[in-house]
Structure 1
Amino acid sequence: MTQDTQPALASDALNRLFRDARTVHAFQPVPVSDETIRQLYELLKWGPTAFNAQPARYLFLRSPEAKARLRPALSAGNVAQTEAAAVTVIVAQDSRFYEHLPQQFPAYDAKPLFEGNAALAEATAFRNSSLQGAYLILAARSLGLDSGAQSGFDPGKVNAEFFPDGRYQVNFIINLGVADPAGIHPRGPRLDFDQVAQIL
């Protein structure tokens, strides 16, 4: 550790964020408040994105009526856990995120890079909104919530129901709440360092 390196987080914090955390498929009936949802965003928004673009957009579905709108798009195996979760977050990407770049990235005019290149804009929006969804999971864990990310849904149905003007497109969905211990499965193995990484 160099003189300028910050100390590592305590082991219990690392356990909560990584080692003991699970993808949750069952939730207890414990509500999540507006205040907690706002705290969650105030944490996740600081995660880095390319050009500080922040292309992710979030719909927090908490009411039974909002969940009912999502239900037809879910795969059968995801319905019960989504209905049980205190909040279900649709993580979407803004196809015109670059309109905010003059304010968010004042270093130089990066807007034309994306405005005239749909493929680059789409790839950038997808990659960085995926990152932001991961930041959301870690922020939720840091606030004492459990999460279950899912891709078992029909994107076309989600977009038609929640983003009919086409500007936003769903990336993935995250259920949030307090885990029901009965629904936590044993941890699956992880690949070893030497199987997936090299130091050059």
Structure 2
Amino acid sequence: SIAAFLSEVVNDLGREQFPTFVKQLRTFIQGSVDFSENDIAADKISIAINGTSIDPQAQEHRLRQLHDAFFHDLEKFEHQIVITLDTYQMASKSLQDWIESTWLRTVERRLKNVVIVIAGQIIPNINNSVWGHECEHFKLTPIDDLKAWCEFCSDLPDHAIKPILIGLKGHPKSVHEMLLAVINSGQY
């Protein structure tokens, strides 16, 4: 969800880095949750923007206010930030729509210190007229370079890695999982 995404970024980068966002969130919750000893949780953000007693227009207004506060704080970072979204195809439709409209548009127009990496079986349409010209598209292919795998997995000898690489046709996730299984088995 959008709330979970915002929460993850805030928690990963540090709640203290998002004073405007936290203040805005507190005004919506109006004292019903004590944040003094807790991280912001996705369900608490969800309470703030999806309360049942709030009409849809007010919810949309609150969400825009949270976005603005979030983006304001993110813009203040002095160093470059890389945010990675993996398995994009598993995101909810509402999150995908938000990423492809609000999030990527804001990153392109406002957040010059933020780089986004989106990976998955589906990805946002790179032909988007607002942010598409800023994208680089890389198709992930099998990694069949034995030397690269041997460097990656120095815990195993070459003769143990090669049959795994050949048998799994260089599929990165499968090869990685199998190499871990062999290492954890204690056979080498």
Q: What TM-score results when the alignment is normalised by the length of structure 2?
A: 0.28
Structure showing greater radius of gyration is: 2
Larger RCO (CA within 8 A; separation ≥ 6): 1
Bigger share in strand = 1
